[in-house]
């Protein structure tokens, strides 16, 4: 009897719920439809894709527009298949053919000779031509190039991702961009951030470009930069390191690792970002550089106070 009574209550509950649903005013139904339509109101920035799409919308459009989810770009008689993905503020096309090679055994017979064969590079010409062709595609299409952000640059004038050292806080790696080198282009709707890594031939930091965005103060070579090593001692250390053979340098750099590895290959990346999102990124980059330089000024000010005090102490002796 209790079971029958419970079933009657459930039946009445769903009957009431359905009645309420069926009695929703037309104006509310129309409002709901308009809200659903508004969700589809976005500005495409690559094909019909936008980072403002939902994941479901994005997957549907990619399946419809891009066979096998690969966007093919021909470069110098080669076809490069780019994966197409979506991040919160951009559409990303990525091609990655970088492989990690391992030198084993790390020690043993003929280790030095084997290591020289291991680090032997392929000719630079092919990858350099591909990189040049890749960049020309965007230089020809986009007349506006943005090259004045306070970020590290390589010796070719491109934004440079160097994840090591004190200056590493001023690179695009801190904002989710992981290739070694980047260039930025823009039109009225979107910003296009292209990147590449040539694993066997890494770029070098442009020190003059770094100086332009960094607070500096004149110091004597004999002034201590830290309590352990002076500038002269640091220079001497690198001189001694340069005298070592490539194999012995690798051993020093991998003291606590079981193996030596190297990377080989080439990768490309294309980021399509709405201009509004890029402006926000730009403000973050500028703010970060200001904070970095402010910290350097503070440290320099404390250093000068310390030196002044030390000289004053000498006069008291």
99-103 vs 260-264, strand pairing mode: antiparallel
User: Does any domain span residue 56?
Assistant: yes
Q: What is the pLDDT of residues 19-54, one digit of tens each?
A: 433 343 444 444 333 333 445 678 999 999 999 999
Q: Does residue 123 surpass a pLDDT of 50?
A: yes
- 146 located within any domain: yes
Q: Is residue 29 part of a domain?
A: no
What is the pLDDT averaged over residues 86-110? Answer: 95
Give the Å distances, CA to CA, from 293 to 15, 22, 290, 299: 68, 64, 5, 10
For the segment 129-152, the average pLDDT, to the nearest whole number, is: 96
Q: Is residue 316 part of a domain?
A: no
Does residue 17 belong to any structural domain of this protein?
no
Judged by average pLDDT, the poorest of 130-144, 160-174, 255-269 is 160-174
pLDDT at 307: 78
**Structural domain includes residue 96:** yes
Whole-number Å distance between alpha carbons of 214 and 152: 10
Stretch 114-120: mean pLDDT, rounded?
93
292-314 mean pLDDT: 81
- What is the pLDDT at residue 224? 47
Going by pLDDT thresholds of 50, 70 and 90, the confidence category of residue 98 is very high
pLDDT-based confidence at residue 289 (cuts at 50, 70, 90)? very high
Q: Is the pLDDT of residue 267 over 90?
A: yes
Query: CA 100, CA 260: separation in Å to the nearest integer?
Result: 10
pLDDT of residue 118: 93
Question: What's residue 116's pLDDT?
Answer: 93
- What pLDDT, on a 0 to 100 scale, did the predictor assign at position 22? 39
pLDDT of 1 strictly over 90:
no
**pLDDT the model gives residue 227:** 45
Percentage with pLDDT > 70 across the chain: 79
Q: How confident is the model at residue 145 (pLDDT cuts 50, 70, 90)?
A: very high
Cis preceding linkage at 41, omega within 30 = no
Q: 317 vs 132, which has greater pLDDT?
A: 132
Highest-confidence segment of 34-38, 64-68, 268-272, 302-306: 268-272
pLDDT at 15 over 50: no
Residue 172 lies inside a defined structural domain of this protein: yes
Average pLDDT over residues 192-202: 96
Total domains, the chain: 1
pLDDT averaged over every residue in the chain: 83
pLDDT in tens, 207-255: 899 889 988 776 554 454 444 445 577 678 778 888 999 999 999 888 8
Full residue range of the structural domain in which residue 85 is found: 41-309
The pLDDT, as a whole number, for residue 221 is 46
């Amino acid at each position: 009897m209790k079971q029958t009574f419970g079933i009657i209550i459930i039946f009445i509950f769903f009957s009431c719920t359905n009645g309420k649903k069926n009695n929703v005013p037309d104006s509310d139904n129309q409002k709901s439809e308009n809200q659903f339509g508004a969700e589809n109101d976005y500005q495409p920035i690559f094909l019909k894709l936008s980072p403002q799409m939902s994941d479901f919308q994005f997957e549907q459009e990619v399946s419809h527009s891009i066979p096998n989810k690969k966007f093919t770009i021909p470069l110098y008689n080669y076809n490069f298949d780019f994966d197409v993905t979506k991040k919160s503020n951009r559409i990303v096309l990525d091609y990655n053919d970088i492989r990690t090679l391992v030198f084993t055994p790390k020690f043993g017979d003929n280790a030095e000779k084997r290591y020289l064969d291991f680090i032997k590079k392929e000719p630079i010409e092919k990858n350099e031509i591909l990189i040049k062709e890749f960049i020309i595609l965007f230089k020809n299409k986009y007349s506006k190039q943005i090259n004045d952000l306070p970020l590290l640059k390589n010796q070719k004038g491109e934004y440079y991702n160097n994840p090591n050292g004190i200056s590493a806080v001023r690179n695009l790696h801190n904002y989710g961009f992981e290739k070694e080198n980047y260039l930025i282009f823009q039109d009225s709707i979107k910003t296009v951030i292209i990147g590449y890594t040539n694993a066997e031939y890494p770029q070098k930091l442009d020190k003059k470009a770094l100086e332009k965005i960094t607070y500096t103060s004149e110091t004597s070579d004999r002034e201590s930069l830290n309590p352990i090593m002076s500038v002269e001692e640091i220079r001497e250390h690198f001189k001694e390191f340069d005298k070592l053979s490539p194999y012995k340098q690798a051993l020093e750099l991998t003291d606590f690792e079981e193996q030596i590895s190297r990377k080989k290959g080439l990768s490309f990346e294309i980021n399509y970002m709405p201009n509004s999102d890029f402006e926000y990124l730009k403000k973050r980059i500028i703010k970060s550089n200001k904070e970095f330089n402010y910290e350097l000024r503070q440290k320099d000010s404390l250093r000068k106070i310390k030196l002044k005090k030390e000289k004053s102490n000498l006069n008291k002796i």
